[in-house]
Amino acid sequence: MTLIYTIPFPNHLFKNDIAADTDNQSEKEYKDRPVSPFENSIDKDEFVGLFAAIDIEGLEEKENEVCIYVAEENKEEAELFIIEICEQHQTTYSISELENKNWNEKWESSFQPILIDDFAYVRATFHAANPEVKHEIIIEPKMSFGTGHHPTTSQMIQNMRLLDFKDKTVLDCGSGTGILAILAEKLGAKNCIALDNDEWCYQNCIENIELNNSESIQPEIGDLEQVTGKTFDIVLANIHRNFLVEHMHTLASILTPNGKLIVSGFYSEDVKLVSDKALDCNLIANYHTTQHNWDCIVFQKTEKQ
């Protein structure tokens, strides 16, 4: 028997801890703003990622809650972990039973492929192929972020089609499933590093690289120090706002002259903060898209004036 732990997303995940009025927002204001109980707060995707340490059969993320599927024999250990997370983030959980059903069947029925025009088709192994699109990507997402369903990932994919990847060196920073690195290779990148600091994501990325027969992607686990001394023509960073603000200088420093940086993972209210920080690092915005209050910006490195 399988147990389903249904956990509502904590209220603080639905709030943006940057003030709504960003007309005079600056990095100093960002750092000096009042500290909330969740100053080290995380977004929905990171909250879901907290459950990666549990031995689970599956995970289903919904609009307002996440469902964790746990085998009955793993109940005791999993429940202690779930209780701890819920207490830390001031949320609750409920338990129900999934009897005589195969988790894979439930997962397959709920996971739908993603079609982005005739450009990209993201599917799982149990979906039929689509020969009508230019680029097909096979993903077994498990608990890693990056299936194409989220507005940030879909915008990253849409904006990647605007760039020339042929023979380019690429860094996918916070690679999750590896979906963006895989697409970069399909677009002609000569080599790509898929970097993530999460072991689950790292292993899932390796699996997806194999599923797509990718040969020029190097998965690595760790932070930006892993690529110290390297430079890239294109950097992909679909990560939360705090990371982008804190590490913008490093992301800019590893770009080649006129290199491109595509960023997403932040709300529309944060565009000015992210853009101002990028400008301080000699990064000029070339493209900007928004979808369901999530934004994506393509920056280009310029010569220091």
Which pLDDT tens digit goes with each residue over 124-135?
888 899 999 999
Per the structure block, which two tokens stand in for 86? 């819920």
Q: Flag whether pLDDT at 150 surpasses 90.
A: no
The answer to whether residues 133 and 196 touch, using CB atoms and an 8 Å cutoff, is: no
249-273: average pLDDT: 96
The answer to whether residues 260 and 299 touch, using CB atoms and an 8 Å cutoff, is: yes
- DSSP assignments along 25-49, one per residue: --HHHHHHSPPPTTTT---HHHHHH
Q: Which of 43-47, 141-145, 180-184 has the lowest mean pLDDT?
A: 141-145
Q: Flag whether pLDDT at 30 surpasses 80.
A: no
Residues contacting 139, CB < 8 A, separation 6+: 122, 123, 124, 146, 147, 148, 177, 179, 208, 211
Q: Flag whether pLDDT at 108 surpasses 70.
A: no
**Burial (CB count within 10 angstroms: exposed 0-12, middle 13-18, buried 19+), residue 231:** middle
Output the pLDDT for position 23.
44
Q: Which of 18-27, 189-198, 275-284 has the lowest mean pLDDT?
A: 18-27
pLDDT category at 105 given cuts 50, 70, 90 is: low
Long-range residue pairs from 164-170, CB within 8 A, at least 24 positions apart, any chain: 164/188, 165/189, 165/234, 168/232, 168/233, 168/234, 169/231, 169/232, 169/233, 169/234, 169/256, 170/232, 170/233, 170/234, 170/235, 170/236
Q: What percent of the chain has pLDDT over 90?
A: 59
Sorted by where each starts, the structural domains of the chain and their CATH numbers stand as: 2-106 (3.30.70), 111-301 (3.40.50.150)
Report the sign of the C-alpha dihedral through residues 198, 201, 205, 207, in that order.
positive
| Residue of 16 and 82 predicted with greater confidence | 82
Q: Which amino acid is at 143?
A: M
3-state secondary structure string, 54-106? Answer: CCCCEEEECCCEEEEEEEHHHHHHHHHHHHHHHHHCCCCCEEEEECCCCHHHH
The rounded mean pLDDT for the chain is: 85
Output the pLDDT for position 38.
37
Residues contacting 91, CB < 8 A, separation 6+: 7, 8, 9, 10
Q: Flag whether pLDDT at 283 surpasses 60.
A: yes
Output the pLDDT for position 40.
46
The answer to whether residues 272 and 278 touch, using CB atoms and an 8 Å cutoff, is: no
Q: Flag whether pLDDT at 252 surpasses 80.
A: yes
Q: Could you give the CA distance from residue 29 to residue 173 in angstroms, rounded to a whole number? A: 26
Counting Cα atoms < 13 Å in the Cβ hemisphere of 130 gives: 20
Output the pLDDT for position 106.
61
Q: Flag whether pLDDT at 232 surpasses 60.
A: yes
Per the structure block, which two tokens stand in for 193? 């590093």
pLDDT category at 219 given cuts 50, 70, 90 is: very high
11-34: average pLDDT: 47
**Which residues are 261's β-sheet partners?**
235, 299
